[in-house]
Amino acid sequence: MYIRKKHISRRTVLRGAGAAVALPFLDAMVPAGTALAQTAAAPKPLMGFFYLPHGAVMDKWTPAAEGRDVELPFILEPFTPYQEHLTVVSGLDNPVAAGVVHAITPGTWLSCVAPRRSHAPLGGVTVDQIAAKHIGQDTKLPSLEVNVEESGGANACDGTYGCSFGNTISLSTPTTPLPMEYDLRKIFERLFGRGETVAERAEIRSDFASVLDMVSDEAKTLNANLAPPDRVILDGYMTSVREIERRVASLATSDYDASQLPDMPTGVPDFDERLRLIFDMIATAYQTNVTRVVAFMMAAEVSNSPYPQIGIRDAFHPLSHHNNNPASLEKLSRIQRYHVERFAEFLEKLQRMSDGENSVLDNAVFLYGGNMSNSNAHNHFPLPITLLGKGAGVLRGNQHLKYPDHTPLSNLHLTVMRRLGIEMDSFGDSTGELSEI
């Protein structure tokens, strides 16, 4: 049989007026009569590193049972619908983070290398950046580093180590900490190509027009040549991008000075919406292959944000010094559950998104957790760590693995890298693989 079906490239973008919008995976990207795995459209692993500061209330984080089909405790319970994609890993330690705590805890989570005692940064390349060099180089953004709020600034600094490791979880070289972007417009512009230079982006920002309006002519032409199922996917994607645009613009025009509203804590009205928006932008970036590697601080180290959206007016960091007070521990666990709830909403979006023969979630490997255990004691054992996703088949999921006490966190990083085909003899202070992952 002679098959004449034409196909479009997985890297196809819509262009117009200086803008470029990537597309989600469409059936039209697969040549007729060709197995998906044999094409450039074959799914590749996606990676995400989602960091929550200030430890965890471990007895409400750690499942009581080991093995498969375990009952999830209070903090992790929102992950129940995605338990097939969830691995809880207990018994891990990261001793290189010990010391001045907040000043080095974020920047050692993904490196497992003790930084030099100096204001000039010298630590270890983080695992997200290693992944970006292997699975992200043919995307627009090899990696994306974001924070839901401005960094803790001087509060995450130290007289010995300076500020290099307290405000980021990502280092591209031992001496290059990467800034975590929190400005919603800047994140949006990076993802959707609103200008190729700083000057061009500034000019476009001064006349904020919709990216989708810029590429509308190409979108109409493409739509006319797609099969009905692809038209539905494209229409849904374009609608999602426009809704993100609207929400970003709305937040930008509703900013206000806290001095005008003395009864309203700074930034509180925006925190929940900012978190949801950033997750939506990350989901769209994964769906359209704009990036495959994301590092996201879901709160700043030494964050003083309160959580009135769940009825908690206490600031996050002071509350983390709970002194074993039952009321404070209850509030802290509710904050930690809130972050899991928002992350679970993000997983639900990814589960609905097609990425070839799988969902985006099926092809993902996500590390969710932190680099501190009991926040009152500022210790780093046992760490709150979970893996989510299937990594296109390299992760088992649906299990709680309890390793011997003080097993290096770096063993987990090494295992995941090797599962994704990234050859490494060792990583940080690793001692071997975790074969059950």
For the chain, give every domain's residue range.
Answer: 52-195+273-419
Give, in order, the Cα–Cα distances in Å from 301 to each of 48, 53, 58, 275, 409.
Answer: 19, 6, 19, 16, 20
The answer to whether residues 233 and 219 touch, using CB atoms and an 8 Å cutoff, is no
Joined tokens for residue 304: 């003083």
CA-CA distance, 29 to 272, in Å (whole number)?
36
pLDDT in tens, 317-337: 999 999 999 999 999 999 999
Task: Supply the pLDDT for residue 267.
Answer: 37
Identify the bridge partners of residue 49 per DSSP, sorted by sequence position.
Answer: 295, 367
pLDDT of residue 256: 34
289: tokens are 């292959």
Q: What is the pLDDT of residue 208?
A: 47
Query: Cα 404 to the chain's mean position, in Å?
Result: 28
Which pLDDT does position 262 carry in this prediction? Answer: 30
Q: What CA–CA distances, in Å, run from 221 to 171, 226, 231, 287? A: 42, 9, 12, 21
User: Among 255-259, 294-298, 418-422, which stretch is predicted with the lowest mean pLDDT?
Assistant: 255-259
d(CA 178, CA 147): 12
Could you read off the pLDDT of 145-154 as tens digits, one per residue? 999 998 876 6
pLDDT band (50, 70, 90) for residue 248: low
Per-residue confidence at 214, pLDDT binned at 50, 70, 90? low
Find the helix or strand (DSSP H, E) in which 108 lies.
helix 105-108
Q: Which letter does DSSP use for residue 154 in this model?
A: G
Q: With respect to CATH, is domain 52-195+273-419 assigned 3.40.50?
A: no
When pLDDT is cut at 50, 70 and 90, the band that residue 2 belongs to is very low
pLDDT tens, residue by residue, 152-201 = 766 778 888 888 899 999 999 999 999 999 988 888 878 865 555 556 65
Give the CB-side neighbour count of residue 400, counting CA atoms within 13 A: 18
- pLDDT beyond 70 at 43: no
Q: Looking at residue 19, what is its pLDDT?
A: 57
Give yes or no for a contact between 190 and 184, defined as CB atoms under 8 angstroms apart. Answer: no
pLDDT for 246: 60
Average pLDDT of 234-254? 63
Burial class (CB in 10 A: 0-12, 13-18, 19+), 91: middle
In terms of DSSP H, where are the helices of 215-364?
Answer: 216-224, 228-253, 268-287, 316-320, 326-352
Label the pairing between strands 293-297 and 46-51.
parallel
Say if residues 395 and 419 touch (Cβ distance below 8 Å): yes
Residue 265 confidence (pLDDT) above 50: no
Distance separating alpha carbons of residues 301 and 152, to the nearest angstrom: 6
Determine which helix (DSSP H) or strand (DSSP E) holds 410, and give its type and residue range.
Answer: helix 409-419
Q: Are 434 and 408 in contact (CB under 8 A)?
A: no
Continuous H helices in 136-215: 184-192, 198-206, 211-214
Residues 6+ apart with CB under 8 A from 429: 95, 96, 112, 113, 408, 410
CA distance 341 to 368: 12
Where does the pLDDT of residue 30 fall: very low under 50, low under 70, confident under 90, or very high at 90 and above?
low
pLDDT digits (tens, 9 = 90+) for 107-131: 999 999 999 988 888 999 999 999 9
Query: What average pLDDT does the chain have?
Result: 84
pTM of the model as a whole: 0.78
Helix (H) or strand (E) holding 365: strand 364-369
Instruction: Write down the pLDDT at residue 16.
Output: 57
**Mean pLDDT across the stretch 332-347?**
98
* pLDDT, position 3: 40
Residue 340's pLDDT band (cuts 50, 70, 90): very high
Query: What distance in Å separates the CA atoms of residue 196 and residue 289, rounded to the nearest whole number?
Result: 18
How much is the pLDDT for 379? 92
Which pLDDT score is estimated for 206? 55
Question: What is residue 172's predicted lDDT score, i.e. its pLDDT?
Answer: 95
- The per-residue pLDDT for range 67-98, each reduced to its tens digit, is 999 999 999 999 999 999 999 999 999 999 98
Which 3 state secondary structure label does DSSP give 329? helix
Between the alpha carbon of residue 354 and those of residues 219, 287, 342, 362, the distances in Å are: 20, 8, 21, 9
**What tokens does 266 get?**
């700074």
**Residue 25: predicted pLDDT:** 64
Q: Does the structure show a pLDDT above 60 at 251? A: no
Respond yes or no on whether the N-terminal peptide bond of residue 382 is cis (omega within 30° of 0): yes
For the chain, the distance separating the N- and C-terminal CA atoms, rounded to the nearest angstrom, is 45
